[in-house]
Amino acid sequence: METFKKHLKDRTGKQRRNVTKFIAQNISQQKFVTPIEKYADLFKAEPLHNTKNAWQHWLSTALAIAMQYTNQTNLKSATVFADLPINCPLVSFSNWVKETLKCGRLHKSSLGCFSEKRKKGI
Protein backbone atom coordinates (compact mmCIF):
# COMPACT_ATOMS: atom_id res chain seq x y z
CA MET A 1 0.00 0.00 0.00
CA GLU A 2 2.82 2.39 0.86
CA THR A 3 4.50 1.87 -2.51
CA PHE A 4 1.20 2.47 -4.29
CA LYS A 5 0.62 5.72 -2.38
CA LYS A 6 4.07 6.94 -3.42
CA HIS A 7 3.03 6.66 -7.10
CA LEU A 8 -0.03 8.87 -6.59
CA LYS A 9 0.08 12.56 -7.49
CA ASP A 10 -1.43 13.63 -4.19
CA ARG A 11 0.15 11.58 -1.41
CA THR A 12 -1.95 13.09 1.39
CA GLY A 13 -4.85 10.77 0.53
CA LYS A 14 -7.14 13.00 -1.51
CA GLN A 15 -7.21 10.43 -4.30
CA ARG A 16 -9.32 8.15 -2.16
CA ARG A 17 -11.05 6.56 -5.16
CA ASN A 18 -7.74 5.27 -6.52
CA VAL A 19 -6.74 3.92 -3.11
CA THR A 20 -10.03 2.06 -2.58
CA LYS A 21 -9.90 0.70 -6.13
CA PHE A 22 -6.40 -0.63 -5.48
CA ILE A 23 -7.56 -2.24 -2.22
CA ALA A 24 -10.51 -3.89 -3.98
CA GLN A 25 -8.30 -5.26 -6.75
CA ASN A 26 -5.96 -6.84 -4.22
CA ILE A 27 -8.85 -8.26 -2.16
CA SER A 28 -7.71 -6.54 0.99
CA GLN A 29 -9.52 -4.46 3.54
CA GLN A 30 -6.53 -2.78 5.13
CA LYS A 31 -5.23 0.63 4.15
CA PHE A 32 -2.27 0.45 6.49
CA VAL A 33 -0.17 -2.16 8.27
CA THR A 34 -1.77 -3.05 11.57
CA PRO A 35 0.40 -2.90 14.70
CA ILE A 36 -0.64 -6.43 15.66
CA GLU A 37 0.50 -7.95 12.37
CA LYS A 38 4.02 -8.77 13.58
CA TYR A 39 2.60 -10.58 16.64
CA ALA A 40 -0.20 -12.49 14.87
CA ASP A 41 1.96 -15.56 14.21
CA LEU A 42 2.80 -15.82 17.90
CA PHE A 43 -0.82 -16.35 19.00
CA LYS A 44 -1.87 -19.75 20.23
CA ALA A 45 -5.32 -21.16 19.45
CA GLU A 46 -7.54 -21.50 22.48
CA PRO A 47 -8.17 -25.21 23.07
CA LEU A 48 -11.62 -24.68 24.55
CA HIS A 49 -13.15 -23.70 21.22
CA ASN A 50 -11.36 -26.49 19.39
CA THR A 51 -12.76 -29.01 21.87
CA LYS A 52 -16.28 -27.60 21.62
CA ASN A 53 -16.17 -27.65 17.83
CA ALA A 54 -14.88 -31.21 17.79
CA TRP A 55 -17.65 -32.41 20.14
CA GLN A 56 -20.29 -30.58 18.11
CA HIS A 57 -19.07 -32.20 14.90
CA TRP A 58 -18.88 -35.64 16.50
CA LEU A 59 -22.35 -35.43 18.06
CA SER A 60 -23.99 -34.20 14.86
CA THR A 61 -22.38 -37.05 12.91
CA ALA A 62 -23.44 -39.61 15.53
CA LEU A 63 -26.99 -38.22 15.47
CA ALA A 64 -27.11 -38.52 11.69
CA ILE A 65 -25.96 -42.14 11.90
CA ALA A 66 -28.53 -42.92 14.61
CA MET A 67 -31.29 -41.42 12.47
CA GLN A 68 -30.09 -43.38 9.45
CA TYR A 69 -30.35 -46.69 11.31
CA THR A 70 -33.76 -45.84 12.78
CA ASN A 71 -36.71 -47.49 11.04
CA GLN A 72 -38.06 -44.79 8.71
CA THR A 73 -41.69 -45.82 9.11
CA ASN A 74 -41.44 -45.41 12.88
CA LEU A 75 -39.66 -42.11 12.42
CA LYS A 76 -42.29 -40.73 10.03
CA SER A 77 -45.26 -41.85 12.10
CA ALA A 78 -43.98 -40.46 15.43
CA THR A 79 -45.24 -37.02 16.40
CA VAL A 80 -43.43 -36.92 19.75
CA PHE A 81 -40.24 -38.62 20.84
CA ALA A 82 -42.11 -40.93 23.22
CA ASP A 83 -43.89 -42.55 20.24
CA LEU A 84 -40.64 -44.18 19.10
CA PRO A 85 -39.94 -47.73 20.34
CA ILE A 86 -37.48 -48.09 23.22
CA ASN A 87 -35.04 -50.23 21.18
CA CYS A 88 -34.84 -47.61 18.41
CA PRO A 89 -31.25 -46.40 17.71
CA LEU A 90 -32.34 -42.77 17.96
CA VAL A 91 -33.84 -43.35 21.42
CA SER A 92 -30.74 -45.27 22.49
CA PHE A 93 -28.51 -42.42 21.31
CA SER A 94 -30.65 -39.84 23.08
CA ASN A 95 -30.58 -41.82 26.33
CA TRP A 96 -26.80 -42.25 25.98
CA VAL A 97 -26.38 -38.48 25.62
CA LYS A 98 -28.49 -37.91 28.74
CA GLU A 99 -27.16 -40.65 31.01
CA THR A 100 -23.59 -41.34 29.93
CA LEU A 101 -22.48 -37.93 28.73
CA LYS A 102 -24.57 -36.16 31.38
CA CYS A 103 -25.83 -33.64 28.81
CA GLY A 104 -29.37 -33.19 30.05
CA ARG A 105 -29.89 -29.81 28.41
CA LEU A 106 -28.79 -31.14 25.03
CA HIS A 107 -31.11 -34.12 25.47
CA LYS A 108 -34.04 -31.89 26.41
CA SER A 109 -33.47 -29.47 23.53
CA SER A 110 -33.20 -32.31 21.01
CA LEU A 111 -36.51 -33.75 22.26
CA GLY A 112 -38.11 -30.33 21.90
CA CYS A 113 -36.76 -29.88 18.38
CA PHE A 114 -37.99 -33.34 17.38
CA SER A 115 -41.52 -32.66 18.62
CA GLU A 116 -41.63 -29.11 17.28
CA LYS A 117 -40.66 -30.10 13.77
CA ARG A 118 -43.11 -32.99 13.78
CA LYS A 119 -45.99 -30.66 14.60
CA LYS A 120 -45.06 -28.46 11.65
CA GLY A 121 -44.84 -31.50 9.35
CA ILE A 122 -41.09 -31.28 8.75
Report pTM: 0.56
| Residue 45 burial (CB count, 10 A) | 7
DSSP 53-120: HHHHHHHHHHHHHHHHHS-HHHHHH-SSGGGS-TT-HHHHHHHHHHHTS--HHHHHHHHHHHHHHHHT
What is the number of other CB atoms lying within 10 angstroms of the CB of residue 94?
20
- Per-residue tens of pLDDT for the chain, all 122 residues: 566 666 666 655 566 666 667 666 766 655 556 667 667 667 776 777 788 888 889 999 999 999 899 999 988 888 888 889 999 999 999 999 999 989 999 899 888 888 776 666 55
Contact assessment for residue 68 and residue 101, using Cβ atoms and an 8 Å cutoff: no
